[in-house]
Amino acid sequence: MLEFHRQTKSPFLINPYPFFGFVPETLNYALFKPNAGVFDNATGMNYTNMFDAQMDAVFSAMKQVGYEDVDIVVAETGWPSAGDPTQPDVNVDNAASYNGNLVRHVSSGKGTPLMPNRTFETYIFALFNENLKPTTSERNYGCSSTT
């Protein structure tokens, strides 16, 4: 697949979702808020947000097989605005925080520890909530409402 992207000069599209990887103790890390960060022994880099760690995990794997020249685009990422009662950190405030901090981060030109000094074409999921999805959090990624 990566060879196809190289030959066609098309980007590799990925969907990093810190929401799926966070636990209550790593909420600030997932939301781009101040935190101690996570040190990666393999790279010697300190990560201050989960998004960068997920991006660099993909880039590192691509580099290991010789495709670091293929551009990466974030096809979708986001944070739900409502969840089940067992998901207290799934709320409108955290969705707004994640999406706002994401936009500032990817447009800042800072890049990631392994891909510094760059911006990333990034698409936020989703424009509207999807009432036919199976779980409460999956139904509530929309930035707008049809109601």
Percent pLDDT > 70 in the chain is: 98
For residue 146, tell me if it sits in a domain.
no
State residue 147's pLDDT score.
Answer: 62
CATH of the domain at 70: 3.20.20.80
State residue 144's pLDDT score.
Answer: 78
Just list the catalytic residues.
Answer: 76, 130, 133, 138
Split into its structural domains, the chain has a count of 1
State residue 146's pLDDT score.
Answer: 63
For residue 131, tell me if it sits in a domain.
yes
The parent domain of residue 88 ranges over 2-139
Contact between 140 and 147 (Cβ < 8 Å): no
Q: Is the pLDDT of residue 145 over 70?
A: no
Beta-strand relationship, 45-47 and 38-40: antiparallel
For residue 147, tell me if it sits in a domain.
no
Q: Is the pLDDT of residue 94 over 80?
A: yes
State residue 111's pLDDT score.
Answer: 98
**Torsional class of 44: left (φ above 0), alpha (ψ -120 to 50), beta (otherwise):** left
Q: Tokens 């103790």 identify what position?
A: 25
Enter the pTM of the model. 0.95
